Each structure stands twice: as structure tokens, then as C-alpha cells.
Amino acid sequence: MNRLALFLAQTVLVLAALSVFGWAVKHRTKGDRDFGVANKPLEMLAGFPDLFKQSVKEAQTLPQTFIPTPEDWTSVNRLDQDVWALSAYSNEDAGRNIDLWNLRNGDVGHRWVVPSDKVPVKPHWRIHHPLLLEDRSVVSFITNRSPLFRLDSASQMVWRQDSLSFHHAINLDAQGQIWACVMQWERGGRHIAYRGSYTMDQKKVHFLDNSIARIDPENGHITYLKSCADILRDNGLEHLILRSGDPQDPLHLNDVEPALFGGPFFEEGDLFLSFRNLQAVLHFRPSTGEVVRVIDGPLAAQHDVDILDDQTLAIFNNATQENTGKYTSGAHKYPISKDQVQLKHWYSEVVSFSLADGSFSEVHNDAMREGEIMTFSEGLQEFLPGGDVFVEEQNSGVLWVLGEDGILYKDVMPSHHEGHHHLPNWTRIIPTP
């Protein structure tokens, strides 16, 4: 009887406390009572279920290396030739694979498993722009980090280079040397710092510098390193910095394309450097330190410059602003006019540039618009034999092949997570073996 009475008394006290708590929460929600120092504890306790639900949701959220696949997704495959692609992705063990695979039929020609003990990665880190060498070894890197590494055909580590932060693109030159987009670590530390600066009136502006590096593929040693801010300063092109709407990152180097042969407008060993935030491609000659030409015009946040022949470049023009069209004030400041001046509907573009006369022309633009291909960042193109073009629409994760007959291929890299596909990491097209 005594235990029953104690239990009943405790139950009454708990119910009374819950009743008081509920009453207090109700009035805090209505805002008609102030409980002083108890306000914040009440609000925290009342919101705990929502916080718990949000925490569970965040724990279940997949890393950003996976993208939700649209429910109405439909693929297209009208390829009549093999198209071999080299790309990295997240595997089921939270590590990374690099596959050489055929877009036409899905066959995997070779797979490298990045050794997690040699190249540890966090869930959202990306292994980027793998490069295939003649002995079936691959070179790749953790984007915006270190290392750059080489794996042999059996996925064994050959070397790793940890002295720089690598990003965006790596490419081979005519001598088989690797050129890379990099950022230099701060002296005495392993972090990136503001290496560039300029003065505007009495205001000192500090910004992120980019560099280009040449790497020996045999041992990973750095054989050339040059600051892009130095390149601009030494060539009287400092004014290009002011074009950017991002004072912290005014350069944003995203491709280094070596000339594998010479011609009337460039020499073997020259580099074409794409700078997203300068809205320009620079023709640079490492042998002399000279910027031969600044290529600009109808480019906006462009990525990926390729050499098509001795007088033509191909450029992936994202056709977007740095802030992707967001209002800087966070909202519409003015009413919408009744007298709209309507400009074009923008999609990303593959454009060719004539080094002979400086003209730009669009490539397979009808197919680009039919597919509504648009990526605000990254993105690339690779020309195939016969004039077809492979396009990586990076933000959406969609891979395309476009030709005179329109869309020849449209698909994603399916993942082991239902309803999601892999985020592409700068797919490289490999000539058919």
C-alpha cells in the first residue's frame, strides 16, 4: 500500500510538472507571457523533437558526391561507336574507384581502387580528373587538397606529391610531363593563405593566388612552378583582376592545356590557361614568361579549353554569373516592370575560337538547347572523331554526346544508393584502344 501511494504521488507530481511545462510553452508560443531567465530553457526543451528529427535527417543525408536522380529520368543511347571514359567515383566501402568504361555498352575495361591507407578521403572529398598513362597507370588527386598520386595498373602506389594543393585539371604535354592547376601552401605550413594583394585608394585587398606546376610523371617531382598573379604582373595585365566580382578569388584558374604541336599561332609547349573569374583564356609561353594573347569576348565563367587544330580552340562556356543570378541584397529590391526588356534564355555552350580572325562560333548549339544543358560551375567538353562532342554537365551529373543529329547519348553514372547517381569528377575521354 505504501509503494502504491508513493507511485500515485509521483505520477501526480509528474503530470503536474508536464501540465505546467505545457502551459508555459503554450504562452511562450503565443508570446503573451514572459518567464524571464526560463524563456530560453523552455524554448530549447520544446524544440528538442524538431532538433532530434533534423539531426537524424542530417545523419541520413548522403555525401555530396551523390546526386538525386529525377523520378522521370530517361536515358538516351544512340551511339554507334565506342566512347571510352575515365572517371572517379565513390564506392560501397566509402573509398574511391577509377573506372575506364565504355559509354556505348557500359563495359568496364579497367578498374583502379584508390588505396584508402595511402590516400585517405572524407565522405565529401572528390578524386578528380584522372589521367591515364601508357603503362595503364593513372594519376589523380584529391581536389583542392593534396596529394597528387600515381597508381600502377594493379592499384599500387607508385608515388605521391604532397607539396601543393591540386585542383580542377591535369594534362600531359608533348614530352609526357604533367601540367596541373595548383595552389601553393603557406610557407612553413600546410594551408592556403592570401598570397596576392593590391591597393585600391587606401584599401588593401588580399586575394587567393593560383599557380601552374609541371610534374615529372616518373617520380612526382615538381619541375616548374609559377604564380598566376606573377604572370599578370610581369605582363602588365594586373587590370584583369578588377573584372572579377569576387575580390577574394578573382583568378580561379580551372584549366591548363598544353600545346602538343606548333602552328602559325602558337608553339609546342605553350599553355592555354582558363580563368573563370577573369572571364578569359590566356595564351602563355612558359619558356619566356610571356602572355602571347588574352582571349575574351562572349565568355562568362568558362571552363575547359582544348586545342582542336593549329588555329582553333574549343572552350566550354558556362554562360553564368559568379553569383548564379542571385540578388546580392537577398531579395527583389524593386517591383517588376510592366515594360520588360527580355534578353536571351541562357544555357551553357561549347564554342570554338578562331586564332586566325578572333571569331567565336557555337558548336551543336541546337542540341545543347534541346537538352537544356546548364552547369553553373565546372563542366567540360571533349571532341570525338567525326565531330561529335562529349559534354559533362557537372552540376546535374548528366553526361552527353552531341552531334549533327542531335542528342546521341544522355545518361548518368548509377550508384549503389537507390534514387541517386554519382557526381562526375571531370570525366576524361580516352581514344579507342
pLDDT tens readout for residues 189-210: 889 999 999 999 999 999 999 9
Q: Which one has a higher pLDDT value, 376 or 41?
A: 376
Domain boundaries, the chain: 2-57, 71-324+345-430
Q: Sign of the C-alpha dihedral, residues 258, 261, 265, 266? A: positive
More confident position, 75 or 21: 75
Instruction: Please calculate the CA angle 249-304-321 and round it to the nearest 5 degrees.
Output: 45
Pick the CATH number of 71-324+345-430 from 3.40.50.720, 2.60.40.10, 3.30.300.90, 2.130.10.10: 2.130.10.10
pLDDT at 42: 58
> For position 161, what pLDDT does the model report?
97
Say if residues 378 and 426 touch (Cβ distance below 8 Å).
Answer: yes
Query: In the numeric block, which cell numbers belong to residue 44?
Result: 530549447
pLDDT at 56 exceeding the cut of 60: no
pLDDT (0 to 100) of residue 52: 43
Give the single-character DSSP code of 190: S
Point out which residues pair with 354 in neighbouring strands: 312
Q: What is the mean pLDDT of residues 314-333?
A: 80
- Provide the 8-state DSSP code for 117: T
Check if the beta carbon of residue 140 is closer than 8 Å to that of residue 98.
yes
Check residue 334 and give its pLDDT.
84
Bridge-based pairing of strands 406-411 and 398-403 is antiparallel
pLDDT at 47 over 90: no
Peptide bond into 250 cis (omega under 30): no
Q: Is residue 365 within 8 Å of 406, Cβ to Cβ?
A: no
Q: How confident is the model at residue 333 (pLDDT cuts 50, 70, 90)?
A: confident
What single letter denotes the amino acid at residue 217?
P
Predicted confidence band of residue 332 (pLDDT cuts 50, 70, 90): confident
Q: Convert the pLDDT of each residue in 81-94 to its tens digit.
A: 999 999 999 999 99
| Mean pLDDT (the chain, rounded) | 91
Give the list of residues 6+ apart from residue 352 with CB closer than 8 angstroms, or none: 308, 312, 313, 314, 315, 360, 361, 363
What pLDDT does residue 321 have? 83
For residue 93, CA distances in Å to 27, 114, 246, 417 come to 50, 11, 38, 12
Which of 305, 329, 328 has the alpha carbon at shortest distance from 317?
305
Q: How sure is the predictor about 351, in pLDDT bands with cuts at 50, 70 and 90?
A: very high
At 16 the pLDDT is 67
Question: Is residue 73 predicted with pLDDT exceeding 90?
Answer: yes
What are the cell numbers at 142?
Answer: 584529391
Q: What percentage of the chain carries pLDDT values higher than 90?
A: 79
Q: Over 50: is that where the pLDDT of 59 sits?
A: no
Q: What is the pLDDT of residue 308?
A: 97
- Per-residue pLDDT, 57: 47
pLDDT of residue 110: 97
Grid cell in block for residue 128? 578528380
pLDDT at position 74, please? Answer: 96
Edge to edge, what strands does the sheet with 84-90 contain? Answer: 108-113, 96-102, 84-90, 428-430
- CB burial of 295-311 (b: ≥16 within 10 Å; e: otherwise) equals beeebebbbbbbbeeee
Q: Pick from 298, 308, 306, 300: which is nearest to 278 by CA?
A: 300
Report the pLDDT value the prediction gives residue 365, as an integer from 0 to 100.
95
Give the model's confidence band at 8: pLDDT under 50 very low, under 70 low, under 90 confident, else very high.
low
pLDDT for residue 384 is more than 50: yes
Residue 22 — pLDDT band, cuts 50, 70, 90? low
Least confident stretch, 44-48, 236-240, 393-397 = 44-48
Q: Say which residue, 340 or 322, is predicted with more confidence.
A: 340
Which pLDDT belongs to residue 223?
A: 98
330 vs 405, residue with greater confidence? 405
Q: Scanning the structure block, which residue is given the C-alpha cell 566512347?
A: 83
Q: Which pLDDT score, from 0 to 100, does residue 190 have?
A: 86
C-alpha angle 236/249/62, rounded to 5°? 150
